[in-house]
């Protein structure tokens, strides 16, 4: 037992829980296929069984030999240094992980709360858009407060938030904020440089995707963001 | 002799048409650039261009994709070496030694080795492809059934699990997780929905391109953020000293070995350049006397991986054209180009559209040669990307990764 650490057990538990959860869920599509006698669930279940075996095998290996059981050369080659950086920054402690996880749930609140509120209050389309605007403003405020002192959490969440807002507010309105936000969270503080680089990146993106390739980037669906997006598209095409 | 005549005819057809030349050059430069720019890859360019090929002739459409394939595989090595972001899975082993070389200030040497060896690997592969396509296609048709293809794919997975993973078990867990992700969506036999959780977006499965972008481009940004937070981020050093002829000549065994490995991996349907690159690297480690130096910035690592993956590009056209079996995402898109023009890749293509086949073969030969010329000229420009602070590059990578697909 001396080689076994809590992290090893937690990892094995996560793999086994995933396998069990998906196995239970596989009954949803456990149907026969006329031309394939094993049915739709046989292959996924075989994979789940192998995952469980590999997870137990890994745990057993860690119990016997600890972490150093693979090729030293290849493990060195595939090490990107993130693990060491996280360890030194004390980003492995449960409190930090929980805080980061909570920040990362903010975009999912945006994706679900307006819909639930809309159903409860039987809102029409305009009302739902108002609910989305209000939710976005509140969650953005919470996000900005929550990432003070946790820029890693902010950086992990920002692309998710950008993705969540993209459909409603459009690429043309949200992308400049996303670019500036990323630069700020990456440690840049020179606003002049940030604005210049941001304008350059946006300019290239618009020229490439909108003017040259005619790729339909999301214009947004909520007014006045929709009008803003379509005006830019009309101007550039 | 007949091969040479066909090659000359194909070359005349390729360069005798101004539009053909334009498409060829566009494919060469576009493939390299999209392969080299972090966050996008040759697959992004190919996906964007796919609908436009309906307006081109079948020769031009297929030729464009084959040229993008050759140069894009090389272009992906640049980002693997400079930023530790492989442009495509086939460039992943290039990063194992290429990125440490960059960190040691030898970016120019690594890129120079990649340019030269990509060109050598690709050109030799193209020549063998021209000579051997017909006999190999005939043999493969009679020898390869589903059990053989399953065995080959399993072999590929076994190699992938042993390379790049910290331990044997972690390798297999990663492979199994990948296979599990591929299960999401409609069952290919019965059309039954599996693990789509009621989301229509998941019905078509989790697509290859966003997965690559997420695993390679986005994750690299996050790793750099973590390093920056700790204060350990150090901008890569820029070096433009290309390898000398003597240094390149010293790699001759690695080059020949990787051409052989690359060609045979490329010819196996459904496997292609990725396995070639991993096996080329793996064999380099196994054969080397000082194998412990691999992963710390050894030129042989870059040479082995890049020669093998480019050697696979020519070979990958054989199962595609002879059997209609694509070896990877880009060759799968080529099947779509064929279908847009009411054609099916397979043995009949050689009978009905021999002109098309030889224009494609000639284009691939010259695309590989042009890697050498344009690669050296362009590389010096691209190396300057390193001078851009990462905080300015990060939003571009994330933005392109989000909208690129």
Q: Model confidence over B156-195: pLDDT tens digits?
A: 677 667 655 677 888 899 889 989 999 999 988 888 999 9
Q: Does residue A115 fall inside a structural domain?
A: yes
Q: Does residue A88 fall inside a structural domain?
A: no
The pLDDT value recorded for residue B234 is 56
Are the C-beta atoms of B116 and B358 separated by less than 8 Å?
Answer: no
Q: Does residue A90 fall inside a structural domain?
A: no
DSSP code string of B338-356: HHHTT---SHHHHHH-HHH
Instruction: Tell which residue, B255, B261, B272, has the closest CA to residue B317.
Output: B272
The pLDDT value recorded for residue A160 is 92
Q: What is the CA angle B304-B307-B309, rounded to 5?
A: 100
A204 in the same domain as A163: yes
A17 in the same domain as A112: no
Cβ–Cβ gap B166/A74 under 8 Å: yes
The pLDDT value recorded for residue A51 is 96
Does residue A121 carry a pLDDT above 60?
yes
Sort out which chain A residues have CB atoms less than 8 A from B170's CB and list them: 58, 70
Residue where the block lists tokens 């793999």: A15
A115 in the same domain as A26: no
Are the C-beta atoms of B342 and B45 separated by less than 8 Å?
Answer: no
The pLDDT value recorded for residue A19 is 96
Dihedrals phi, psi of A123, to nearest 5 degrees: -75, 145
Quote the domain boundaries for residue A44: 6-79
pLDDT-based confidence at A73, cuts 50/70/90? very low
The pLDDT value recorded for residue B297 is 83
Sort out which chain A residues have CB atoms less than 8 A from B206's CB and list them: none
The pLDDT value recorded for residue B227 is 73
A129 in the same domain as A232: yes
Are the C-beta atoms of A218 and A170 separated by less than 8 Å?
Answer: yes
Sort out which chain A residues have CB atoms less than 8 A from B52's CB and list them: none
Q: Which of residues 100-129 of B touch A (CB under 8 A)?
A: none
Does residue A125 carry a pLDDT above 50?
yes
Cβ–Cβ gap A48/B180 under 8 Å: yes
What digits encode the pLDDT tens for the residues B39-60? 567 877 787 777 777 778 888 8
The pLDDT value recorded for residue A26 is 93
Enumerate the β-bridge partners of residue B193: B186
pLDDT-based confidence at B387, cuts 50/70/90? low
Mutation pick from A8, A48, A80 vs chain B, by most beta carbons of B within 10 Å, is A80
The pLDDT value recorded for residue B239 is 53
Alpha-carbon torsion B128, B131, B133, B138, what sign?
A: negative
Q: Does residue A96 fall inside a structural domain?
A: no
| B200-216: burial string, b at 16+ Cβ within 10 Å, e else | eebeebeeebebbbeeb
Nearest by CB to B195, from A25, A79, A86: name it.
A25
Residue where the block lists tokens 């880009």: B330
- Crossing angle for the helix pair B299-323 and B273-287, to the nearest 10 degrees: 140
Does residue B202 carry a pLDDT above 70?
yes
Q: What's the mean pLDDT in B300-309?
A: 91
What digits encode the pLDDT tens for the residues A8-66? 899 999 999 999 999 999 999 988 888 888 889 999 999 999 999 999 999 998 888 77
- Dig out the tokens for B199 from the structure: 């989301």
A111 in the same domain as A190: yes
Domain boundary among A79, A113, A131: A79
Collect contacts of B201-204 with beta carbons under 8 A, ≥24 apart: none
Q: Does B154 touch chain A (CB under 8 A)?
A: no
The pLDDT value recorded for residue B271 is 60
Q: Does B158 touch chain A (CB under 8 A)?
A: no
Cβ–Cβ gap B195/A75 under 8 Å: no
Q: What's the mean pLDDT in A126-151?
A: 92
Rounded CA-CA distance B83/B133 in Å is 37
Nearest by CB to A182, from B183, B285, B398: name it.
B398
pLDDT-based confidence at B384, cuts 50/70/90? low
A135 in the same domain as A37: no
Q: What's the mean pLDDT in B76-96?
A: 81
Instruction: Tell which residue, B102, B61, B5, has the closest CA to residue B386.
Output: B102
Q: Does B167 touch chain A (CB under 8 A)?
A: yes
B151 to each of A49, A63, B20, B158, B322, how far by Cα in Å?
A: 20, 33, 40, 10, 20
A171 in the same domain as A115: yes
Of the ranges A71-80, A185-194, B5-14, which one carries the lowest mean pLDDT score?
Answer: A71-80
Helix or strand holding residue B193 (H, E): strand B193-194
Q: Does residue A85 fall inside a structural domain?
A: no
Task: Say if residue A202 is preceded by a cis peptide, omega within 30 of 0.
Answer: no
The residue in chain A having the minimum alpha-carbon distance to the alpha carbon of residue B403 is A217
Instruction: Tell which residue, B344, B312, B363, has the closest CA to residue B20.
Output: B363
Nearest by CB to A36, from B163, B190, B295: name it.
B190
Dihedrals phi, psi of B237, to nearest 5 degrees: -80, 145
Are the C-beta atoms of A55 and A12 separated by less than 8 Å?
Answer: yes
Q: Does B402 touch chain A (CB under 8 A)?
A: yes
Rounded CA-CA distance A180/A196 in Å is 10
- Dig out the tokens for B110 from the structure: 């690594």
Alpha-carbon torsion B59, B65, B69, B70, what sign?
A: positive
Sort out which chain B residues have CB atoms less than 8 A from A92's CB and list them: none
**Residues constituting chain A:** 237
Does residue A77 carry a pLDDT above 50?
no
Rounded CA-CA distance B277/B114 in Å is 12
What digits encode the pLDDT tens for the residues B98-113? 888 888 888 888 888 8
Q: What's the mean pLDDT in B384-391?
A: 71
Ranges of H-type helices in B53-167: 58-83, 92-103, 107-143, 146-162
The pLDDT value recorded for residue A47 is 96
The pLDDT value recorded for residue A31 is 87
Rounded CA-CA distance B283/B162 in Å is 12
Mutation pick from A39, A40, A49, A75 vs chain B, by most beta carbons of B within 10 Å, is A40
Cβ–Cβ gap B391/A186 under 8 Å: yes
Helix or strand holding residue B173 (H, E): helix B168-183
Q: Residue B106's CB: how many other CB atoms inside 10 A?
A: 22
The pLDDT value recorded for residue B150 is 79
Rounded CA-CA distance B368/A83 in Å is 39
A215 in the same domain as A107: yes
Ranges of H-type helices in A66-170: 72-77, 82-88, 94-104, 106-121, 125-146, 151-169
A126 in the same domain as A50: no
Q: Does residue A87 fall inside a structural domain?
A: no
- Dig out the tokens for B374 from the structure: 């344009």
Q: Which of residues 362-401 of B touch A (CB under 8 A)?
A: 389-392, 394-396, 398-399
Name residues whose C-beta falls within 8 Å of residue B373's C-beta, 6 or more positions apart in sequence.
none
Q: What's the mean pLDDT in B316-326?
A: 76
A28 in the same domain as A114: no
Q: Does B194 touch chain A (CB under 8 A)?
A: yes
Per-residue H/E/C for A189-227: CCHHHHHHHHHHHHHHHHHHHHHHCCCCCCCCCCCCHHH
Rg of the Cα trace of chain A? 24
Q: Does residue A204 fall inside a structural domain?
A: yes
Domain boundary among A22, A45, A79: A79
Cβ–Cβ gap B187/A159 under 8 Å: no
The residue in chain A having the minimum alpha-carbon distance to the alpha carbon of residue B223 is A82
The pLDDT value recorded for residue B216 is 66
Residue A236: burial class (beta carbons within 10 Å; 0-12, 13-18, 19+): middle
Are the C-beta atoms of B181 and B211 separated by less than 8 Å?
Answer: yes
Mutation pick from A3, A65, A78 vs chain B, by most beta carbons of B within 10 Å, is A78
Rounded CA-CA distance A236/A127 in Å is 32
Q: Does B289 touch chain A (CB under 8 A)?
A: no
Alpha-carbon distance A171 to nearest alpha carbon in chain B (angstroms):
9
Number of domains in chain A: 2
Does residue B7 carry a pLDDT above 50?
yes
Nearest by CB to B294, from A50, A77, A182: name it.
A77
Collect contacts of A230-234 with beta carbons under 8 A, ≥24 apart: A232/A172, A232/A206, A233/A172
Does residue B245 carry a pLDDT above 90?
no
Rounded CA-CA distance B353/B174 in Å is 42
Q: Does B96 touch chain A (CB under 8 A)?
A: yes
A125 in the same domain as A56: no
A141 in the same domain as A227: yes
Q: Which stretch, A65-69, A158-162, B199-203, has highest mean pLDDT?
A: A158-162
Q: Does residue A207 fall inside a structural domain?
A: yes
User: Higher confidence at residue B67 or residue B234?
Assistant: B67
Helix or strand holding residue B194 (H, E): strand B193-194
Percent of chain B at pLDDT > 90 equals: 7
Are the C-beta atoms of B334 and B65 separated by less than 8 Å?
Answer: yes
Sort out which chain B residues have CB atoms less than 8 A from A163's CB and list them: 402
Does residue A215 carry a pLDDT above 90?
no
Domain boundary among A79, A112, A143: A79
């Amino acid at each position: 037992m001396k080689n076994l650490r809590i992290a090893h057990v937690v990892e094995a538990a996560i793999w086994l829980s995933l396998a069990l959860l998906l196995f239970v869920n596989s009954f949803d599509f456990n149907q026969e296929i006329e031309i394939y006698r094993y049915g739709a669930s046989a292959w996924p279940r075989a994979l789940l069984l192998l995952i469980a075996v590999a997870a137990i095998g890994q745990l057993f290996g860690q119990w016997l030999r600890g972490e150093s059981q693979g090729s030293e050369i290849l493990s060195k080659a595939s090490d990107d240094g993130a693990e060491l950086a996280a360890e030194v920054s004390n980003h492995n402690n449960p409190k930090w992980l929980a805080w980061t996880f909570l920040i990362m749930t903010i975009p999912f609140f945006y994706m679900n709360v307006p819909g639930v509120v809309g159903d409860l209050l039987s809102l029409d389309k305009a009302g739902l858009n108002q609910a989305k605007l209000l939710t976005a403003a509140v969650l953005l405020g919470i996000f900005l407060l929550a990432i003070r002192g946790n820029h890693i959490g902010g950086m992990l969440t920002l692309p998710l938030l950008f993705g969540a807002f993209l459909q409603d507010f459009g690429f043309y309105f949200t992308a400049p904020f996303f670019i500036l936000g990323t630069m700020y969270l990456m440690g840049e503080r020179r606003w002049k440089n940030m604005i210049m680089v941001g304008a350059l990146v946006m300019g290239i993106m618009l020229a490439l995707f909108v003017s040259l390739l005619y790729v339909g980037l999301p214009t947004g669906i909520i007014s006045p963001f929709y009008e803003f997006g379509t005006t830019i598209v009309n101007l550039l095409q | 002799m007949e091969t040479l005549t066909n090659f000359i005819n194909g070359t005349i057809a390729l360069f005798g048409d101004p539009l053909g030349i334009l498409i060829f050059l566009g494919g060469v430069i576009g493939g390299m650039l999209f392969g080299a720019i972090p966050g996008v890859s040759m697959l992004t360019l190919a996906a964007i261009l796919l609908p436009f090929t309906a307006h081109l002739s079948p020769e031009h459409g297929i030729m464009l994709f084959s040229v993008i394939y050759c140069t894009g595989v090389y272009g992906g090595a640049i980002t693997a070496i400079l930023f530790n972001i492989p442009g495509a899975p086939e460039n992943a082993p290039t990063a194992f030694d290429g990125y440490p070389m960059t960190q040691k200030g030898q970016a120019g040497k690594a890129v120079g080795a990649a340019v030269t060896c990509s060109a050598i690997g690709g050109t030799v592969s193209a020549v063998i492809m021209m000579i051997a396509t017909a006999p190999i296609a005939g043999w493969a048709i009679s020898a390869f059934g589903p059990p053989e293809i399953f065995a080959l794919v399993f072999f590929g997975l076994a190699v992938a699990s042993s390379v790049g993973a910290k331990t044997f078990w972690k390798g297999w867990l990663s492979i199994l997780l990948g296979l599990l992700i591929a299960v999401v969506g409609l069952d290919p036999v019965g059309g039954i929905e599996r693990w789509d959780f009621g989301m229509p977006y998941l019905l078509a499965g989790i697509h290859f391109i966003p997965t690559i972008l997420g695993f390679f481009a986005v994750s690299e940004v996050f790793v750099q953020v973590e390093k920056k937070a700790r204060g350990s981020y150090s901008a890569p050093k820029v070096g433009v000293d290309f390898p000398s002829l003597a240094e390149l000549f010293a790699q001759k065994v690695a080059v020949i070995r990787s051409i052989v490995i690359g060609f045979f991996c490329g010819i196996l349907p459904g496997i292609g350049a990725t396995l070639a690159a991993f096996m080329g690297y793996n064999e380099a480690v196994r054969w080397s006397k000082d194998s412990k130096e691999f992963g710390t910035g050894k030129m042989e690592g870059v040479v082995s991986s890049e020669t093998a993956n480019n050697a696979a590009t020519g070979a990958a056209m054989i199962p595609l054209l002879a059997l209609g079996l694509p070896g990877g995402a880009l060759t799968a898109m080529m099947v779509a180009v064929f279908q847009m023009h009411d054609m099916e890749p397979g043995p009949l293509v050689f009978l009905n559209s021999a002109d098309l086949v030889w224009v494609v073969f000639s284009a691939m030969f010259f695309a590989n040669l042009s890697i050498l010329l344009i690669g050296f000229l362009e590389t010096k420009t691209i190396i300057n990307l390193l001078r851009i602070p990462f905080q300015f590059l990060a939003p571009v990578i994330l933005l392109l990764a989000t909208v690129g697909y």
